């Protein structure tokens, strides 16, 4: 049986894969695993969601499951995933629950849990929760039932926190922020304005069905057009639950997560705040990032794909900055998970402090051409044993030399294999990627 928890919680089509019954059972199981029952004190859980219509019935199911097992519930409403993580720690809760499918379309939804302090769950805890599903449960009665309260100041606490983390004002910057009709639609413009920026907000009118639809970090063309139209200094794009941040410079060129990491890493290094002189990135990060950091005297530690693995390595090594090309950036001094609003603020603060445009700052690294080919409908479980495939990979690596690389890995969530090639030129990268994709089809099809 496949593991229920994926790389970022439990996700699926709401009402089909992720039903009210499953949400109820997951919340009951989580209450058993993540709480400590102490005499005279009921456990407390913080529950938040993004604005998807399905979040309403899933939230009701989660709240019912928690309160029915004797857990007090603090509903914080529609807020970014990192805000729920922050408030879990801020309110001293035993755990937090976020209902979101991040950058996925509106029909999908998901449930992720945070442990005490707003920390992401380790695999072992997720396995414990999954193992509790379907186990006989005992509902509490009378005074033992959990109480449900709405936290009306959750958004204000979060905005105050992220703005308070800035070393300087954003005064003088004109910024377009694309909220993806998602969880940051209120707090992102508010935080930017409070930090001193002139703000044009787009994608900030969620109706429960338009999340990520032609906007946000998965549709950067919308932000590019808006930045040019309004003559803005920069643009910031979040995804549906605002744990990602991508950017656009004044000319409308995209600045991706790797470039943001490079800018923040060198800035932190110069300020003496880059712990261990090390940046944590994933194997999917552009080779240009690693080369740039070597030039700047900054070490790079690589992890598997997924911000949870980045976070684990940061904690293990005592590092302060890490992230992914997709825009998950973790500033561990201020957040326990990727935070798109926080990242955008700190990126803009570098612009304001240095009085430099984003295009100039992004020159700290040169992106090598990178081609990603997804090969669907193959048996990804046989990747490791496909000798002819790995012979082809070694041949490609020999051709690329030190000016490129090959990454071949099974998808963590779909029946496909991903082939990524970086090279000095895009034509070479594409040719090699297509060649390797053909070998994948031949060997694993």
Residues carrying an active site annotation: 102
- Helix ranges, 296-386 (H): 307-317, 340-354, 358-362
Question: CA angle, 25 as apex, 24 and 30 as ends, to 5°?
Answer: 100
Nearest to 83, CA basis, from 98, 102, 71: 98
| CA-CA-CA-CA torsion sign (335, 341, 342, 344) | positive
Please provide the DSSP assignment of 95-142 as one string.
EEEEE--TTS-TTEEEEEEEEGGGEEPPHHHHHHHHHHTT-------G
- Chain CA centroid to CA 298, Å: 24
Can you tell me the distance from the alpha carbon of 241 to that of 107, in angstroms, rounded to the nearest whole number? 14
Can you tell me the distance from the alpha carbon of 227 to that of 176, in angstroms, rounded to the nearest whole number? 6
Question: CA angle, 185 as apex, 179 and 187 as ends, to 5°?
Answer: 115
Can you tell me the distance from the alpha carbon of 443 to that of 436, in angstroms, rounded to the nearest whole number? 10
Alpha-carbon separation of residue 120 from 84, 101, 307, 315, 392 (angstroms): 11, 16, 10, 12, 38
Contact indicator for 65, 25 with CB cutoff of 8 Å:
yes
Contact indicator for 106, 213 with CB cutoff of 8 Å:
yes
Contact indicator for 14, 107 with CB cutoff of 8 Å:
yes
Q: Which residues of 45-61 are buried (b: 16+ CB within 10 A; e: fewer)?
A: bbbbbbbbbbbebbbeb
- Cα radius of gyration (the chain): 22
């Amino acid at each position: 049986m496949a593991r229920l928890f994926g790389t970022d919680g439990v996700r699926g089509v709401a009402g089909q894969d992720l039903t009210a019954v499953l949400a109820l059972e997951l919340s009951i199981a989580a209450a058993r695993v993540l709480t400590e029952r102490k005499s005279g004190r009921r456990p407390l859980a913080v529950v938040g969601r993004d604005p998807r219509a399905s979040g309403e019935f899933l939230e009701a199911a989660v709240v019912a499951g928690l309160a029915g097992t004797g857990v007090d519930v603090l509903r914080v409403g529609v807020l970014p995933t990192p805000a729920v993580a922050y408030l879990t720690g801020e309110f001293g809760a035993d755990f937090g629950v976020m209902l979101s499918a991040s950058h996925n379309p509106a029909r999908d939804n998901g449930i992720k849990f945070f442990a005490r302090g707003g920390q992401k769950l380790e695999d072992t805890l997720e396995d414990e929760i999954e193992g509790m599903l379907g186990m006989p449960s005992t509902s509490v009665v009378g005074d033992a039932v959990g109480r449900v309260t709405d936290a009306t100041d959750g958004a204000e606490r979060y905005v105050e926190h992220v703005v308070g983390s800035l070393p300087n004002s954003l005064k003088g910057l004109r910024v377009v922020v694309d909220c993806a009709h998602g969880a940051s639609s209120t707090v992102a413009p508010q935080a930017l304005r409070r930090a001193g920026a002139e703000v044009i907000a787009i994608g900030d009118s969620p109706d429960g069905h338009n999340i990520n639809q032609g906007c946000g970090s998965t549709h950067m063309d919308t932000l590019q057009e808006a930045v040019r139209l309004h003559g803005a200094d920069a643009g910031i794009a979040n995804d549906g639950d605002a744990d990602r941040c991508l950017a656009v410079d004044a000319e409308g060129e995209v600045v991706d997560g790797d470039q943001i990491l490079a800018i923040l890493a060198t800035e932190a290094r110069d300020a003496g705040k880059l712990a261990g002189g090390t940046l944590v990135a994933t194997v999917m990060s552009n080779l240009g990032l690693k080369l740039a950091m070597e030039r700047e005297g900054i070490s790079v530690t690589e992890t598997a794909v997924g911000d949870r693995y980045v976070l684990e390595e940061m904690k293990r090594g005592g590092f302060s900055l890490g992230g992914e090309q997709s825009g998950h950036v973790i500033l561990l001094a201020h957040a326990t998970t990727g935070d798109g609003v926080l990242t955008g603020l700190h990126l803009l603060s570098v612009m304001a402090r240095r009085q430099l445009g984003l295009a100039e700052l992004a020159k700290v690294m040169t992106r090598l051409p990178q081609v990603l080919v997804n090969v669907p409908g193959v048996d990804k479980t046989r990747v490791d044993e496909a000798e002819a495939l790995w012979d082809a990979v070694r041949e490609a690596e020999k051709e690329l030399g030190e000016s490129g690389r090959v990454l071949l890995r099974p998808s963590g969530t779909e029946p496909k294999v991903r082939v990524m090639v970086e090279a000095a030129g895009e034509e070479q990268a594409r040719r090699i990627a297509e060649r390797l994709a053909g070998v994948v089809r031949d060997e694993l099809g």
